[in-house]
Structure 1
Amino acid sequence: MNNLKEDEISEVSIITPLHNAEAYISQTIGSVLHQTYQKWELIIVDDVSEDDSVQIVENFSKNDARIKLIRLRENSGAAVARNTAIETAKGRYIAFLDSDDVWLPEKLERQLTFMQENNYPFSFSAYERIDENGRSLGTVGVPKKVNYKQMLKTSVIGCLTAMYDTSHFGKVYMPLIRKRQDYGLWLKLLKQTDFAHGLQTSLGKYRIRRDSISANKMNTATYNWRLYRQVEKLSFLASCYYFSHYAVRGLLRTKFPTFAKKLGVMQ
């Protein structure tokens, strides 16, 4: 692996929304602390947690000033939490890590090297899926690159792997919708660059939870449709076209998961 010199690059701002994740947040923070690249800030925005999540984060932040906690006054959803963190961010690069996911130790170093050496402003990577107990559910492969129209057919970018360069885009925020806001951000970014580039190495672990907001497939599909029509302003026919691709890929994920993994459509 190529060595990345920390004095040649601005820091990374890591965006983490938090809501009732006391069982996982220590592992998430630990995976950032153990990064081989250490020039980062971790901005955690609590969306009115009712468990001990905040206390756990405060214990970490007392020992490391790079870990910053912001508390929202009312429950506002992941989009508001993430946008609040982006607004506060000071790093050149914006990366995302949810409060129940984890990164592998070389995630930042490998991805930053990939972006710097190739002058890529927007990148993502393969990742592993795990269950609530951390058991592997297989690796999700990704394409080498994807453009806006391809992304409309299905989101191939795992949020925990995405990173964009503010020196190219400026700060770009998520649309204020309750679900699929990360997908909306990827589409925003792809309107400003030709491609997002995929790193084939798995760099993180995405946790599948029974109570996950994305567990309700019908509800998620509804928000996908709203994203096409209300956020992207696509025509009814264009929305039908892209939604049909989304639906077929959903069928592949459910009925033919091995084939779906090869296509990189396991999200």
Structure 2
Amino acid sequence: MIKFSILIAHYNNGKYFKECYQSLINQTYENWEVIIIDDASTDHSVEMIQSLIKNDSRFKLYHNIINQGCGFTKAACIQYAQGDLCAYLDPDDAIYPEALEKTVHEFIHKNDLAAVYSQMRLCDENLTPKSTYAGTKQIYNNRYFFNCPIQVAHFFVFKRETYLRTKGINPNLKNAVDQDLYLKILEQGEVKYLKEPLYLYRIHSHGISQDKAKQSAKESFARVIHETMKRRGLKAINNKTVPEIFTSSQEIFELLNYQNNRIERLISKIKVTLDSI
């Protein structure tokens, strides 16, 4: 039976973790483990987490001695994972009860999959669903896909063996960590899109991806994209030269502007349709 590892990089989110925990123990799929690494939280989060998981051996809690940041902590999570499949879950978010079962089902029926991703529901601070994130779509996966604008998001499930064939998450990243993961995994094989929400994404003032961090995230995403272009050996995109050295986020995003015009979007849609036949 396929084992599933849920990976949680945690920092100061104890007040929200109970709902995350509840969504895990309510899963219809039973063969799973949860790896939690606390990144030197400064509040009472660790005590709150320990009180919830203390009698359940499926949960394993580890600690960074000093605060290392999101990239380091997420990269470390997978070093402890023993599952065949892995997915990251933020400690202030949650997943639907059938999230694991439905994604495992896809891997069972298509052996060459590298990853499966789904839609997500945007929620308020109380985790009450408000809308489905509109950006998530079926993609045409090739070396010119950079997830910009974002089309692949949570819930993103991947094979651990696939991850181990990559360089892994860049531990120095503070933002755009998930994008770094997605692009590296997508280079390794086929991806399946589930057109239904399996993930509950909480929007709140303390979230690292909220407005005050957007500019920093944009800069990090551009660096991730540039590194991806170099890793894929791309010298030019749409007849424009890929810079040898990163100088600005604007320069990188301008290379991809052509993908947003009407003709390119139509071509992409046709490719997706043909790929699904």
TM-score (norm 2): 0.78
Which residue of structure 1 lines up, in the alignment, with residue 221 of structure 2?
A: 224
Q: Which amino acid letter does the alignment assign opposite residue 163 of structure 1?
A: V
Aligned to 1:192: 188
The percent of aligned pairs where both chains have the same amino acid is: 26
Q: Considering only CA atoms, is the larger Rg found in Structure 1 or Structure 2?
A: 2
The equivalent residue for 1:80 is 72
Q: What's the CA shift for 1:217?
A: 2.2
SS state at 1:91 partner:
coil
Residue of structure 2 aligned with 1:205, choices 186, 200, 207: 200
Read off the aligned partner of 1:110 and give its amino acid letter.
Answer: K
Does 1:140 pair with 2:133? yes
Cα offset, 1:107, TM superposition: 0.5
1:181 and 2:210 equivalent? no
Q: How does 1:1-267 map to 2 (within 5 A)?
A: 9-119=1-111, 120-141=113-134, 142-147=136-141, 148-159=143-154, 161-170=155-164, 172=166, 173-176=168-171, 177-193=173-189, 195-215=190-210, 216-230=213-227, 232-233=229-230, 235-236=242-243, 239-242=252-255, 244=257
Call closer, same or farther: CA 1:103–1:15 in 2, change over 3 Å. same
**Offset, 1:165:** 1.3
How many angstroms apart in 2 are the aligned matches of 1:44 and 1:109? 21
Q: For structure 1, which runs of at least 5 residues remain unmatched after alignment?
A: 1-8, 250-267
- 8 Å CA contact 1:153, 1:242 repeated in 2: no
Which shows bigger deviation, 139-148 or 21-30?
Answer: 139-148
Q: Deviations over 1:97-146 (max 9, x none)?
A: 01001001010001111222133221100110002122323012532344
Does the 8 A contact of 2:162 with 2:185 survive in 1? no
Moved more, 100-109 or 48-57: 48-57
Residue number in structure 1 paired with 2:238:
none
Which structure has greater helix proportion? Answer: 1
Q: Distance in 1 between matches of 2:225 and 2:92?
A: 28
1:168–1:49 CA distance, 2 compared to 1 (3 A): closer
Q: CA deviation at 1:242?
A: 4.5
**Cα distance change of structure 1 residues 100 and 64 upon mapping to structure 2, 3 Å threshold:** same
SS at the partner of 1:63? coil
Q: Is the 8 A contact 1:175 1:231 kept in 2?
A: no
Moved more, 36-45 or 76-85: 76-85
Secondary structure, in 3 states, of the residue corresponding to 1:54?
A: helix
State the superposition RMSD in angstroms.
Answer: 2.3
Residues 158-188 of structure 1: per-residue CA shift (max 9 Å, x gap): 24x0111134453652112110011011111
2-side partners of 1:11 and 1:202: how far apart? 22
The structural deviation recorded for 1:84 is 1.1
C-alpha separation between the residues in 1 aligned to 2:9 and 2:218? Answer: 22
- 2:34 partner amino acid: L
Is this contact kept in 1: 2:9–2:73, CA < 8 A? Answer: yes
TM-score (norm: length of structure 1): 0.81
**Does the 8 Å contact 1:153/1:245 carry over to 2?**
no
Displacement, 1:156? 1.9
